[in-house]
Structure 1
Amino acid sequence: MLKISEGRTAEIFEQGPGKILKLYRSGFPPEAIRYEYEMNQAIASCGVPAPRAYDLIHFEQRDGIVFERIEGSTFLSRMVQHPDGLDRLSKEFADLHYQVHSYKLDEHKKSSIVKQKVILARNIHNARELSDDVKKKIIDVLERLPDGECLCHGDFHPDNVIVGERPWVIDWMTGMVGNPAGDVARTVLLFRFGTLPDEAPRAVKEALQFMSTKISRIYLERYLSCSGLPFSDIDEWMLPIAAARLSEWIPNREKELLFNLIEERLS
């Protein structure tokens, strides 16, 4: 099989005409892979611009999903290649996120999707860098935040959007039902502290680091304008979102930055 790309959790291969195979790395939880497959199935009939998921497979002792192949380039690569269009691309990125939050799921499909607060609480519990006392304080904050019933992506960043004939949102493993303010808080934190995979080209890493502050500002301004949300609604999600991210496969440097933010908010 011809490898097309790879990330921290999976490798992408060609899989016949119009299809790709997302093959997850050894040790990746099979229940998370099945959830991504089922999530794509759930949103397929709602008009969400996401690749169709065709099948779950087991190949060479690894699990994978066969997806519809989407031709195009990611928002991330477009931002790096066309810095003169950064304002427009950042606004389009915000518009797409707002669009995702506007899709309506019927009650049957909604019942099969995990709730935002359930996912965040579980991930906070799994953050080994935090003491039990700190976890309890953060979960208390989380429980006081307003619930929501909107479709949320859970990891909306420019490398998870492919632009071809139209924009496509990929990687729905973190999909959930919840409050859009929490989903936006996650995106803002990724712009502030997120790091690209080690295998990403150095030029792309350096360019994104230089541009991320500007992208984040324009994205946030545009989203607030579209949605009418006050920034305070988003800011109050930052603490639990940062704590939950500590449980993920991320570099130590990013964990240090998140831990510093958590200490600052708790103090």
Structure 2
Amino acid sequence: MKRIAEGRTAEIFQHYHESVIKLYRNGFPKEAIIYEYEITKQVASLGISVPRANEFVEIDGRVGISFEYIEGKPLLQKMVEHPQELDDFSEMLADMHVTLHRCEVPADERGKPFRKQKEVLAYNIHQAPQLSTDEKNAILQMLEVLPNGNRVCHGDFHPDNAMVGEKRWIIDWMTGMSGHPAGDITRTLLLFRYGTLPEAAPSHVKDQLQAMRKRMGEVYLTYYLAHSNLRLDEIDHWMLPVAAARLTEWIPEEEKEQLRSMIRDRLKLRE
């Protein structure tokens, strides 16, 4: 097998032209792997373009999932290779997100396996060790009054999870859920602003991405707002809950510090 990509939680290997195998890091929770397998199948059944999940595999003691092999490149790679087309690719990303959010989760599938967005956020906020009890309670009160929603949300939508070839594909559904599009968009905006760049990327690529990320976020948001019925203030209401929930993830301490600072600044403004 040939390794073709890696992230903080897993490595991706190509197995001929038939499948790719996503092998998770040792110690990664098995229940999260099972969830990704199940929700990928459910999302595919709704007509969303995702690689087919074939079966569980175990290689050298590591658990993984075999997925259908698809032709294409991550949108992030295309942005780096063709920076003069950055605006076009950013609009393409937004268009994929708009299209995804038009898909409703059928009532009998919410929670089976689709987790509910606000429940996931609330659980993670409770677990965030960087926040005080008072800070958590204030953010949880904000979350409580936000709308629930019944749309398919990816939970980690960014240019490295959007594949483009003959078709457009959305990959990596471990964070998929049923919820409100505004919360899903907020997550993407936070990644543009604070997300740590891929560790495996060469330094010159990181420099290039750092220079592009502000423009990516601006074009993405402008396009999304123009092609949906959401307003900017509706999205902003989700910023604190989504940022607080991210503090529990496998992300570098530097990013957690930035998120923590932003959260406390916003909380002070509300006092």
Q: Same fold (TM over 0.5)?
A: yes
- 1:170 maps onto 2:171 in alignment: yes
Checking the alignment, whether the CA contact within 8 Å between 1:148 and 1:178 is kept in structure 2 is yes
Question: For 2:149, what is the secondary structure of its paired residue?
Answer: coil
Which residue is 1:122 aligned to? 123
The alpha-carbon distance between structure 1 residues 80 and 16, as it changes in their structure 2 partners (threshold 3 A), is closer
CA distance in 2, matches of 1:9, 1:51: 19
Checking the alignment, whether the CA contact within 8 Å between 2:51 and 2:69 is kept in structure 1 is yes
- Quote how far apart the aligned CAs of 1:205 are: 1.1
CA distance in 1, matches of 2:199, 2:84: 26
TM-score of the superposed pair, with normalisation by structure 2? 0.96
Question: Deviations for 1:146-193, whole angstroms, at most 9, x for unmatched residues?
Answer: 110110000000000111111100000000000000000000010000
Which residue is 2:65 aligned to? 65
Checking the alignment, whether the CA contact within 8 Å between 2:87 and 2:216 is kept in structure 1 is yes
- 1:251 maps onto 2:267 in alignment: no
Percent identity between the aligned chains? Answer: 52
Question: For 2:141, what is the secondary structure of its paired residue?
Answer: helix
CA distance in 2, matches of 1:69, 1:107: 31
Which residue is 1:31 aligned to? 31
Which residue is 2:105 aligned to? 105
Of stretches 215-224 and 134-143 in structure 1, the one that deviates more from structure 2 is 134-143
Checking the alignment, whether the CA contact within 8 Å between 1:14 and 1:20 is kept in structure 2 is yes
CA RMSD of aligned residues (A): 1.1
The alpha-carbon distance between structure 1 residues 124 and 14, as it changes in their structure 2 partners (threshold 3 A), is same
Question: For 2:67, what is the secondary structure of its paired residue?
Answer: strand
CA distance in 1, matches of 2:102, 2:133: 36
Aligned length: 267
Question: Deviations for 1:98-156, whole angstroms, at most 9, x for unmatched residues?
Answer: 10111233333334110000111111112111122211111111111111011000000
Which residue is 2:50 aligned to? 50
Q: How does 1:1-267 map to 2 (within 5 A)?
A: 1-112=1-112, 113-267=114-268
Question: Deviations for 1:40-81, whole angstroms, at most 9, x for unmatched residues?
Answer: 111112110110001112222211000011121111011111
- Quote how far apart the aligned CAs of 1:16 are: 4.2
Question: Runs of 5+ in structure 1 lacking a partner?
Answer: none
CA distance in 1, matches of 2:190, 2:104: 26
CA distance in 2, matches of 1:160, 1:243: 22
Corresponding letter in the other structure for 2:151: C
Question: For 2:115, what is the secondary structure of its paired residue?
Answer: coil
Instruction: List structure 1 runs of 4+ shifted beyond 3 angstroms.
Output: none
Question: For 1:213, what is the secondary structure of its paired residue?
Answer: helix
CA distance in 1, matches of 2:193, 2:156: 14
